[in-house]
């Protein structure tokens, strides 16, 4: 359901505003994902990497793959825009960027939580890692999905 602002705003202006808001959100996410991915890329070159247990290396590779996939998702809208610039596809670009941002945010939460799992697994124990990851997923899910859904329902009623 649109807001009064959406109803009063011409479609082209709304698309431009939506695109600019999406870009701001993607910039915030991109910084965190790039830092995390960059850090993960250095891990195999540390002396301790060879001391990791096999299951920890599997977790690491899953985390790294997830971080790279997350990066691809949050950078994709830039490519969409660059390739389709002035082709009359702004509506598609905004919709596709929105989907990429949503999936990228979900993956970022999972990747971050899996990093927590790996760190706790190495530092304390696998059980501690699983508990810490579950807490991380719960907090991220609550803040990033639950809270906005509750507020949205309040505004719709």
pLDDT tens-place string over residues 23-80: 898 888 888 899 999 999 999 999 999 999 999 999 999 999 999 999 999 999 999 9
Is residue 9 scored above 80 in pLDDT? no
Region at 53 (left for phi over 0; alpha for psi -120 to 50; beta for the rest): beta
pLDDT at 5: 56
Q: pLDDT confidence of 8, banded at 50, 70, 90?
A: low
Q: What is the pTM of this model?
A: 0.83
C-alpha to C-alpha distance for 148 and 57, rounded to whole angstroms: 36
Q: How far apart are the first and last CA of the chain?
A: 11
pLDDT tens-place string over residues 83-134: 998 888 889 999 999 999 999 999 999 999 999 999 999 999 999 999 999 9
C-alpha to C-alpha distance for 6 and 1, rounded to whole angstroms: 9
Q: How many residues would you count in the chain?
A: 157
Scan for tokens 């979900």, then name that residue.
106
pLDDT at 7: 61
Q: pLDDT confidence of 1, banded at 50, 70, 90?
A: very low
pLDDT tens-place string over residues 15-31: 889 989 998 988 888 88
Residue (of 96, 115, 105) closest to 140 by Cα position? 105
């Amino acid at each position: 359901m649109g807001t009064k602002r959406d109803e009063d705003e011409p479609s082209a202006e709304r698309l431009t505003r939506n695109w600019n808001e999406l870009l701001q959100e993607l910039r915030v996410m991109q910084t965190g994902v790039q830092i995390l991915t960059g850090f993960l890329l250095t891990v195999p070159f540390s002396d301790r990497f060879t001391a990791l247990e096999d299951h920890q290396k599997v977790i690491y590779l899953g985390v790294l793959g997830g971080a790279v996939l997350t990066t691809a998702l949050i950078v994709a809208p830039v490519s969409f825009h660059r390739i389709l610039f002035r082709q009359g596809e702004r509506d598609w670009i905004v919709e596709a960027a929105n989907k990429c941002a949503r999936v990228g945010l979900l993956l970022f939460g999972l990747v971050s939580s899996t990093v927590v799992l790996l760190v706790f697994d190495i530092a304390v124990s696998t059980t501690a890692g699983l508990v810490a990851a579950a807490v991380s997923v719960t907090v991220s899910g609550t803040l990033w999905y639950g809270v906005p859904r509750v507020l949205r329902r309040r505004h719709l009623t």
